Amino acid sequence: MSGGASTVPTTSSAPVGITGTTGSILTSDTGGAASVQTAPFGHALVAAGERDARIVGLTADLGKYTDMHVFAQRFPERFVQVGMAEQNLIGIAAGLARTGHVPFATTYCVFATRRAYDFIAIGAALGRANVKIVAGLPGLTTGYGGTHQGIEDLALMRAIPGLVVIDPCDATEMAQATAAAAEHDGPVYLRLLRGQVPMVFDPATHRFEIGRACLLRDGGDVGIVSTGLMTARALDAADRLEAAGVRASVLHVPTLKPFDRDAVLELAARVPRLVTAENHVVSGGLASAVADTLVDAGVAVRMERIGIPDCFCESGSIPYLVKRYAMDADSIVAAAQRVLTVRRSTNPARNA
């Protein structure tokens, strides 16, 4: 079998993180990771392709930069280079799905969700075409500014009926979510972590399942609900809080749709002080899903939101941007401390 060596991802020690406002603005945020894995999506797609001959790969001129090149090298006869035409990318993928294939289409978040939104909604979701959209550069994973940072994609994709929406945490979950998407019968939107991707979860024990949240830590003082790469920072924050005598739960929610409402309600019933953490604007994504769940159930909690504010972000190195927009573990700790503070009413009569 030719190209078999390419199916084994490379694992290595993580490089030191970049500091300052300049530097390589396409470098993955791997600072602090004990180990990283190379192109977990590409290798997982090859493995899925070995199991299922219906799987095909497509990209819009971004094979190398979405790790689709790994699949293309192994299965050149099952790979389509569409060129810089994202609407065609989704339209072709939907057509291939109609003829019995399982297409994985890759591009950047901003190109999929801004340029091809109608094609995803109508071509893929309305007819439940078995299309898998894999979207790179989610949130603040690139320093190329507002044109390339996919900061609102989860809100847009959550709004489409029948579309599964996934935001993986690390290399382990990226690989497992790819396999789950391949097995799922229906359209999927999968955020991509590419290149050198940190490993947070042990692949021998972690199990990703569409629609299921995972309680990673249990503590009764404050609950942190996180998704995507923010879960690694949430775990870091929980360690710092514990050192300060605060016990924090961490609920990892990798699937934004279907949303694990029961897991959120169970946590809120025990710990009515929550912090949400997402690599996305604070409107329309995880925080909104949590708030909707609590309001629908009539559950009152104190809640703080960590995420991108209502703005397009600057250009710069990822570590700089993470600090600039309060997306780091320190910011999660500060939010937890705020939500633990009992706020007295500003009404003098009530405080008398």
- Per-residue pLDDT of 109-129, as tens digits, reads 999 999 999 999 999 999 999
Answer yes or no: are the C-beta atoms of 26 and 152 closer than 8 Å: no
Look at residue 34 in the predicted model and tell me its pLDDT: 77
Domains in the chain and their CATH numbers? 8-13+29-198 (3.40.50.970), 214-340 (3.40.50.920)
pLDDT average, residue stretch 204-229: 98
Residue 136 scores a pLDDT above 80: yes
- Give the span between the Cα atoms of 86 and 184, in whole angstroms: 23
Longest Cα–Cα distance of the chain, Å, equals 79
Residue 47 scores a pLDDT above 90: yes
At 250-290, the pLDDT tens digits run: 999 999 999 999 999 999 999 999 999 999 999 999 999 99
pLDDT-wise least confident of 26-35, 130-139, 229-238: 26-35
Out of 21-35, 308-322, 334-348, give the one with best mean pLDDT.
Answer: 308-322
Q: Which residues of 182-204 are buried (b: 16+ CB within 10 A; e: fewer)?
A: bebebbbbbbbbbbbbbbbbeee
Measured torsion, CA atoms of residues 264, 266, 271, 277, in degrees rounded to the nearest 10: -10
Please name the residue that has the structure tokens 């004990």: 34
Residue 219 scores a pLDDT above 60: yes
- Give the span between the Cα atoms of 339 and 302, in whole angstroms: 6
Closest CA to 193 of 294, 25, 65: 65
pTM value surpassing 0.85: yes
